[in-house]
Amino acid sequence: RKRQRYVEKDGKCNVQHGNVRETYRYLTDIFTTLVDLKWRFSLLVFILAYAVTWLFFGLIWWFIAYCRGDLDHLEDHAWTPCVNNLNGFVSAFLFSIETETTIGYGHRVITDKCPEGIVLLLLQAILGSMVNAFMVGCMFVKISQPNKRAETLVFSSHAVVSLRDDRLCLMFRVGDLRDSHIVEASIRAKLIKSKQTQEGEFIPLDQTDLSVGFETGDDRLFLVSPLIISHEIDERSPFWDVSRHQLEKDDFEIVVILEGMVEATGMTCQARSSYLADEVLWGHRFTPLLSLEEGFYEVDYGGFHHTVPVPTPACSARQLAAAAARRDAHLYWSIPSRLDQP
């Protein structure tokens, strides 16, 4: 059975919230709610916000003209209307648009004999400014979101397990396709695996941190060229007792998270990917990508996902460490002491 992903390869979280009863909480933060909407709904809200306010104030302008009798004295040049050249709802609607957008064609204009119109003009000017600030702010934030910057941050299609300095390590590769860099880039990795506690509690999709250099600062990346991120499988690692045979039968997911600040905009960006158990290759190593050219280094992204098999013990890291300890002890006791030599 194919395992259901918690995080897709493109970074989308495969989680849907159901039976949310306190939906009013979305309205308390209406700005974020509008920014999080899909583009088609955001454009619909953007258009409706202006159209509704124009129609609403256009109806009020028409109602004032109707109550004052301006529509009954259209041909009476001695009559001073509230708004000159307002002869129906369509013209009232156009006057509402001109007022809120400050277009000012000069054909329709309010007179000083209409105090209720002056009050309405002030209200529409203030409310129009608020609508402009709110909607334009939403669209600006949505356009400038750094989500698309993560599209040029790439992860290797597979993770590998092989020896580094006689220690088993879990490794994956990250790269940045743009020339502009990610500032203060950092990497994290989490193991997603269900478990059962000693008390019998079942925890679905339990999250465990995988050390990728937090203690030493190696998790802070200078991501100018592709880097291989390494997790050393030691006694603190959840893979300490996992051998190659166990890895092939195991059921887990490794989620990797790359965060940083976009150099061009200064906004925080996050890219995610994941590896299932069958996407972890035991006994493989990533091929080199860098080559020295005339005055610069060249990165060949054509081989970004390529790996090559290398000799790697099939036992677990614990068994490998125990074998190394026995070998060292045997070498120690096999060397005769200088004191025993004649």
User: Quick one: tokens of 142?
Assistant: 């949505």
Is residue 279 packed enough to be buried (19+ CB in 10 Å), middle (13-18) or exposed (0-12)?
A: middle
Q: CA nearest 94: which of 109, 73, 114, 113? A: 109
Domains of the chain: 21-143 (1.10.287.70), 146-327 (2.60.40.1400)
Is residue 162 packed enough to be buried (19+ CB in 10 Å), middle (13-18) or exposed (0-12)?
A: buried
pLDDT score for 338: 44
pLDDT score for 330: 63
Helix-helix angle 39-68:89-101, to 10 degrees:
120
54, 93 contact by CB (below 8 A): yes
Global pTM reads: 0.76
Q: CA nearest 110: which of 88, 137, 92? A: 92
Structure letter (DSSP) for residue 7: B
**Which stretches of the chain score pLDDT less than 70?**
1-2, 328-342
Question: 171: which strand partners?
Answer: 160, 230
User: Quick one: tokens of 153?
Assistant: 């941050």
pLDDT score for 334: 57
Helices (H), the chain: 24-28, 30-36, 39-68, 89-101, 115-143, 244-249, 317-334
User: Quick one: tokens of 150?
Assistant: 């993560």
Amino acid at 52: V
* DSSP letter for each residue of 297-331: EEE-GGGTT-EEE----SS-HHHHHHHHHHHHHHH
